[in-house]
Structure 1
Amino acid sequence: MKKVIAAALALVLCLQLAGCGTPQKESGTKKETSSSSAVKTTSVTLQALTYRVPSTWRKVKAESGYYHYPTDDNKAGFLFVSYNEIDFSSVSSTEDLHEVYSTFFKGVQGDSKDFKLGKKEFIKLAGIEAFKASYSDRVDTYGMYNMELYVLADVPNNALYYVTFTMRDKLQKEIGAQIDTVVGSLRLDKKATEAGGSSSGSSTAGSDGQTGSTSSSAAGSGSAAGSAGGQIAGGQNAGGSGQAGAGTNTSPNTSSNSGTNTGPSGGETQSSEPSGVTAGQANALSRARAYLGVSAFSHDGLVRQLEYEQFSHEEAVYGADNCGADWNAQALKKAGAYLNTSAFSYQGLIRQLEYEQFTGEQAAYGANNCGADWNEQAAKKAQTYMNFSSFSRQGLIDQLKYEGFTDEQAAYGASAVGL
């Protein structure tokens, strides 16, 4: 997911650079003055998670969460709170949960050359075992940003929550105390807290980025820099899938031989290996299933990912060949992840899926079955462009056609934004 779609407007959470209109008021939002601070804060509820943000921060609804902008300049930075559904049925220990967190974070890191880890650690937050990381990365052409990430597993409700601050240096200095206020206000409902609270202690992964044997890279959604681009744009049509891809409703398998594992296509794949299988192949297969429990991959993309994990080519191929994935279904899931985070034309989505190393047939399957309204996609893309710059009607139509929209779809998009 390292590719920038035409005009630098699409990536994991889309690479758009511009403002948003004034967000609508949310019915579930309640403003009041915090008793612990003179700063007026707003209570926000996202599924089982509640938190507070300064009332002056702009709030924009995303498909699976909210953007919060401390200033009028989106490029200065933002807070993004979102969630993904994930099956935690096989998570029975703190170590299992750490595996989920570590796999997710490697997906955030991707293979960005500009990624610089400050520190990552397992912490207690909102009464449960959680994960925190501070790092910096380049957001495409927009420069370096500082990131502060918190991940919380709501095990009873099978949801993973992400709280991400993306900031330039100046904004980070300005809102440092407010970050503490937001993080300190994070609360999960009682059931989630009771289940997660059994985890004991906190362990620091350290600034060298190592977390024992749970290292896993690019769990499917590319670098944090790719994700941040769309959030700078104001979060149009943005969902939480960019945090680690759309994900399948399976959780990472934390051992190389742990019985039956639900595969990404919904069927069951047996992890008991035939005779003659090497330990490296068995471990590659286990890791492949873990990745597919977090995100969607093409066959070749999964092989590449396993090779990144230092598996040999033969071991990586074995893992991908035997993981039980339906690659058409994986293409469809990846398409859904992209559409949750940005707007695409039919042809543009196929190109992006092919970049992810899906075959032409698999990419076409994903685009054909994703349920997208291509006129509405053109309208969303048109609004993104208008947020970024000024266009004449014909200029906007030409730009949309460059993105792969048809003449009719491009004209619809231009009309939808009032041109």
Structure 2
Amino acid sequence: MREDFKRRVQEVEYRLTATNSFISYGHQSISEEDIEAVACVLKSPFLTTGPVAAEFESALCHLTGAKHAIVCSNGTTALHLACLGLGISENDLGITSPITFLASANCVEFCGGRTDFVDIDPASLCLSPEKLEDYCKNVAVPKVVIPVDFAGIPADLPTIHSLSKKYGFHIIEDAAHSIGSSYEWNGSQISCGACVHSDLAIFSFHPVKTITSGEGGAVLTNDDKLAERIRMMRSHGIERRIDLLTKNDGPWYHEMADLSYNCRITDFQCALGKSQLKRLQSFKARRREIVDHYNTAFGKFNELTLPPDPKGSSVCYHLYSLQFNDGSQKRYEVFQELWKVRIYCQIHYIPIYWQPYYNRKYGYPIGKCPNAEAYYAHCLSLPLYPALSDDEVGYIIESVINLIR
């Protein structure tokens, strides 16, 4: 059996070399049904935001339990719209995790606010509620906190929500990684994006995410007024309401109530997203299978730390982030050697406050968030997506093990 496994792994290596192809850290999974759904819209009267966008929004509400979903052009736009909805403006303080994509921090800056960072909890890799309370007590109370469900692992939203009631800040759940994940609260499973413990939540539908619409995002909320404002801000700040009409006005009449952008998404993108959403549970199950294969293999090595698997949560893993306990040099060597055998990994993420923009503007020092920096020095994201075959997973495992032995 072992010899058969070795042979199949060798066949993967040969195929990658012969076809000049590679295994990336993430990749979309497109079916014939997805293609047909997009083609159907292309044959319809509507291309930009129209009836299929509304159907996709309804499906997202059904999935999460949130009252409103507003789809938009991408996850970055969703974060920006969420901040605009809350009225973030000049000198308002926003807090997020340093271990996330840049957009989680930039959305506050886009609105003229100031972004600062609170360290992660090493056990979850998400923003630490304890560090957040220390910040509120000893530095300042932010206007908004943006906890990130890193790699699909839900942040401790119930505790952060309790802190928001105590100190008076808003919450935007950055659920860009976590569609399909849920966490336990009062004996029930709460979907990421449900807004039970946040004012707003956002999703991203980039091709490496669990479901894709090519590019795309969504803002979710249970607040009617926030939803109304975000819908308006999605399309140039324009309102179209019957009560705005006078006797000399027709259906063309509209008013620009506020200055905003074109953040709309197309109907054919929403058709893809809606079609993909039907396979979310199968995507989640396959991702879990691959994670279990990795954990079984890598859990035998003291040199490695496995990703978190929090008790009570049902995680739809977006990333498989392995940590190399020997430090950044070993991680670098493994990263380089895996590329040579056509396994293209990634690092998630460089602490945001190290970026030149934030360092130049605020002078955030190295050592600001020690847990985040220690994680960054050791982490490596291995390939994780449903279309990976068992033989490819075996090839990845064998390649990593050969490098750490």
Determine if the TM-score, normalized by the shorter chain, exceeds 0.5: no
Larger strand fraction of residues: 1
Q: Taking CA–CA contacts closer than 8 Å with sequence separation of 6 or more, which of the two structures ends up with the larger relative contact order? A: 2
